[in-house]
Amino acid sequence: MTIQADIKSLSQWEEYHNRPLVIAGPCSAESEKQVMETAIGLKETGKVDIYRAGIWKPRTRPNSFEGVGSKGLPWLKKVKQETGLPITIEVANTKHVYEALKFGVDILWIGARTTANPFAMQEIAHAIKGADIGVLIKNPVNPDLELWVGAIERIANAGISKIGLVHRGFSTYEKSLYRNLPMWQIPIEMKSRLPEIPMINDPSHIGGAAELLQDISQRAMDLNYDGLMIESHCNPKEAWSDAKQQITPKELGELLSNLILRDPIPHDKAQMNTLEELRQKIDWLDDQLLDIIESRMQIVKSIGEYKKKNNISVLQNSRWEDIIYKSIEKGAKKGLSRQFINDAFKAIHQESINHQMEIMNGKKE
Ligand code: PEP
Ligand code: MN
């Protein structure tokens, strides 16, 4: 990675020490009254660190509410003056950045559609060059880790060291419980590549529904995320955007009180030993799993040789369908999800076909 600036971990972001760091506020600023009423409610919870509101809204279809624009900036300034909460807004182009800097916004956030667009990222990076400001970068709408890394590089190379990431899930065409699939493995991989960079979860845009927020937030805490960005509105039912996923400040306070915060690392020798023992058992089982797969491949090879000698084709669909059906049913009885068995057996089957192909043609597929 070619990052020139030193990226600061959250504990180096001066004022932001709480875990979870909580960023909350409405999806969109609608009126001064709505912005202030929500801010006062959030301040009263005593659990919110930063106030968010969208001023310019990237909407999927034209003719939806596209945000109040610059006229909302003085409302946010008032929030800061009256509650002391730092302010963050979404920026998607040069004009947004200049306006935000002029009004003393504390942190900028880059939306998921913008992260996915390298031209826009470059333009934003150019506009913020050298500014002393925090920048939160949401994951791109598509599950592309490199695109996310590229956006970080562009912002870091503009001399910004206070960079945080927001995991808001990934678009899907298929119907799902979630509005955006969390694909937890992507932020987890990002954390292992850039361990210092703060990772914030956005359960509102992942879930798309108020009733899913608690569970998603808890999962994020269990995965040691640094913070949460949650949409909150003084009157969610009447919200001009994302009404289904917004909750009142009071509900947000309750959600945060219900969170169980577990220690990221074991804190004494006994805990370490117990974990170590269990991990050894896992390692031993993993070795066995590999041995079993190896034995399976040996048999697959014998079948390949037999098929070659007798001129029978590699793939026999009915046999495969039989295996997968039986395994899914057996797995379900053992508490293993159908999706998991399907994916795991498909991968094993593909590897078996590759081995047989190698035997029959002398090459891998
Ligand atoms: C938002 O936070 O209101 C927003 C538009 O988010 P995203 O970029 O994640 O869709
Ligand atoms: Mn929103």
pLDDT of residue 320: 83
For tokens 């998607």, the residue is 92
CB atoms within 10 A of CB 117: 17
Distance from Cα 280 to the centre of ligand 1, integer Å = 42
In this structure, what token pair is assigned to residue 210? 């108020």
Distance from Cα 28 to the centre of ligand 1, integer Å = 10
> Distance between CA 333 and CA 91 in Å, rounded?
50
Q: Is the per-residue pLDDT at 227 higher than 60? A: yes
Q: Is the per-residue pLDDT at 242 higher than 90? A: yes
Distance from Cα 54 to the centre of ligand 1, integer Å = 8
Domains of the chain: 3-258 (3.20.20.70), 269-361 (1.20.59.10)
Q: How many angstroms from the chain centroid is the CA of residue 148?
A: 11
Percent of the chain with pLDDT over 90: 75
User: Is 76 near ligand 1, meaning CB less than 6 Å away?
Assistant: no
pLDDT of residue 19: 83
pLDDT digits (tens, 9 = 90+) for 296-325: 999 988 988 998 889 887 777 788 888 889
Mutate to test the pocket of ligand 1, among 205, 216, 245, 246 (most ligand atoms within 8 A of CB): 205
pLDDT of residue 267: 82
Helical axes 118-128 vs 145-156, angle rounded to 10°: 20
pLDDT digits (tens, 9 = 90+) for 6-30: 777 766 776 676 789 999 999 999 9
More confident residue, 267 or 276: 276
Average per-residue pLDDT for the chain? 92
Q: Whose CA is nearest to atom 3 of ligand 1?
A: 27
Average pLDDT, integer, range 160-173: 95
Q: Is the per-residue pLDDT at 199 higher than 80? A: yes
Q: Is the per-residue pLDDT at 1 higher than 60? A: no
Reported as half-sphere exposure (CB side, CA atoms, 13 A), residue 63 has a value of 0
pLDDT of residue 141: 98
More confident residue, 357 or 212: 212
Average pLDDT, integer, range 78-89: 97
pLDDT of residue 356: 85
Q: How many angstroms from the chain centroid is the CA of residue 91?
A: 19
Which helix (H) or strand (E) segment is 184 a member of?
none
User: Is 205 near ligand 1, meaning CB less than 6 Å away?
Assistant: yes
Q: What share of the chain is helix, strand, coil (3-state, %, to 5)?
A: 55, 10, 35
Question: pTM surpassing 0.85?
Answer: no
pLDDT tier at 128, thresholds 50, 70, 90: very high
pLDDT of residue 264: 75
Q: Is the per-residue pLDDT at 169 higher than 90? A: yes
More confident residue, 53 or 317: 53
User: Is 111 near ligand 1, meaning CB less than 6 Å away?
Assistant: yes
Q: How many angstroms from the chain centroid is the CA of residue 348?
A: 29
User: Is 138 near ligand 1, meaning CB less than 6 Å away?
Assistant: yes
Buried (b) or exposed (e) across 186-198, using 16+ Cβ within 10 A?
bbeebbeebeebb
Instruction: Of 278, 283, 281, give the one whose Cα is nearest residue 266.
Output: 278
Distance from Cα 27 to the centre of ligand 1, integer Å = 8
pLDDT of residue 266: 80
Pick the most confident of 232-241, 257-266, 330-339.
232-241
Determine the straight-line distance between the first and last CA of the chain, rounded to whole angstroms: 32
